[in-house]
Chain A
Amino acid sequence: SYVLTQPPSVSVAPGQTARITCGGNNIGSKSVHWYQQKPGQAPVLVVYDDSDRPSGIPERFSGSNSGNTATLTISRVEAGDEADYYCQVWDSSSDPVVFGGGTKLTVL
């Protein structure tokens, strides 16, 4: 089955830029979606179809996807961005929906 690989953790100082990667074989040929999950809360969609933002999500959140890596970029990071972030794709394998293992973003 298809595998998505994320770094377990990323740390960044407030006001800096955080980049969270999601690796997969030829992931650039798929549409990648990103979720933010804060402790005790349900996941929230922050980027869909590689780089689109749902209404209500700040422009500071952006996405890109090419080759074997998709990236979620959070500009001007705030303390409130501290959360777990998951990437997700649909695949034609036996398990059609695949999530990455998640990345914990720590704001220093």
Chain B
Amino acid sequence: EVQLVESGGGVVRPGGSLRLSCAASGFTFDDYGMSWVRQAPGKGLEWVSGINWNGGSTGYADSVKGRFTISRDNAKNSLYLQMNSLRAEDTALYHCAREPYGGNSGGWFDPWGQGTLVTVSS
């Protein structure tokens, strides 16, 4: 069974940092690009960042560029999101999701993990 399980969320003060992880199983991880998508409480979906199969190409939403860094460890079948300089508006449920191709250059997201909650509050 293809599965994505996020972890690392929590409560952090504005300006703080947090590192999210996504453990993948049930498929050949390094065949696929991966993305992080977040959802603020009661709001819609917002793409945050994506990475290609070998980590050589990454992309970020303007809202997080320069503050967040996506990475992956194919030997550990894991995806990461390092979040620095966190703001209240970063409060959301963060999902990792698999892309259909290796290149992080198009397509849909399937499947999605259940998400890990990040709360930025003083």
Contacts and interface: CB of A to CB of B under 8 A. Distances in A.
Interface of A: 1, 31, 33, 35, 37, 41-45, 48-49, 54, 86, 88, 90, 94-102
Interface in B98-116: 100, 105-115
Contacts, number: 62
Interface of B: 35, 37, 44-47, 50, 59, 61-62, 95, 100, 105-115
Contacts of B113: 42
Majority SS at the chain B contact face: loop
Given A42-B114, A43-B95, A98 B47 contact: yes
Contacts of B45: 35, 37, 43, 86, 88, 99, 102
Contacts of B110: 44-45, 48, 54
